[in-house]
Copies of this chain bind each other. A is one copy, B any other.
Amino acid sequence: MPVSMGPNRYGKDGIRLVLVRRGADEDELRDLTVDVRLEGDFDRVHTDGDNSGVLPTDTMRSTVYALAQDSLTGAIEDFGAALAARFLDAAPAAGVAEVTLREHAWGRATVSGEPHPHTFIGGFAEGAIATVTERRGAAPLVRSGIAGLTVLKTTGSAFSGFMRDEFTVLAETEDRILASEVTADWTYLDGHAPAYAETRVAARRALLEAFATHESKSVQHTLYAMGEALLAACADVCEVSMRMPNKHHIAVDLSRFGIDNDRAVFVATDRPFGVIEGTVTRG
């Protein structure tokens, strides 16, 4: 029976990097988790156990730390591009290097009413994400984004007029809680040299403003409005993909206790949950 190796890739997940840049007046703190993947001419690694072209995943790990001081000077996208280029240089058998980064946010602690020079507050679900994919001989492709953007609006969200079949029991509503943990990521128009960090700030502002002000008829409807707002705000962005779980908040029936519950008391549920995924694009 002839058998052969199909598509494959390998790498390292969960490389935890904290970088401190020490200044005269204050320190800067960066906190990243980095994943690396290589694809290429690795068939004989699998079929014959020939490791001669394998850059060990442990080397990927140490490379992230070795390059940090020189290359993590600005946006995570630039650090990702430096890493991807390095991995293609280091591993001739690789045709594609992909680096995925997530930055964990820290804010300066407020002490005596002032931001403190070397003390930080963390513990935020929200963070910047990026994926840099470099194919040998081509320019790197960059996706930038935001993950863990946890939002809730107490009004301005309806869900009605939907299909009903024999198993549909959901009541229509003109006023519900809408909550999500938004992941959004986007690509850039060709030929643009984007300012990644500034774009992310503008993108986040647009997403949040659209979420807040949109009169929502569904999660899908709001997802589109958010994507549209992001494209309007960020001229360099080509398209944006979003994933919005619907974190259901169910009004509790208190009428059996003689208590009126007019959109006041809700159960926040874990599972199951709705998921809406979509891309909004120019043109």
Contacts and interface: CB of A to CB of B under 8 A. Distances in A.
A82 interface: no
Contacts of A159: 51, 56
Interface stretch (A73-81, A135-143, A191-199, A213-221): A213-221
A40 interface: no
Contact of A168 (B58, B161, B281): B58
A213 B111 contact: yes
Interface residues of A, number: 138
A218 B45 contact: yes
Nearest to A263: B20
A42 B218 CA distance: 12
Contacts of A268: 16-18, 31
A88 to B, nearest CB: 12
A12 to B, nearest CB: 5
Contact of A10 (B27, B123, B276): B276
Contacts of A14: 270-273
Contacts of A63: 167
A255 B120 CA distance: 28
B111 A208 contact: yes
A221 B62 contact: no
Given A119-B153, A264-B69, A281-B4, A10 B56 contact: no
Nearest to A119: B212
Interface string A60-101: 011101101100000000000000000000110000000000
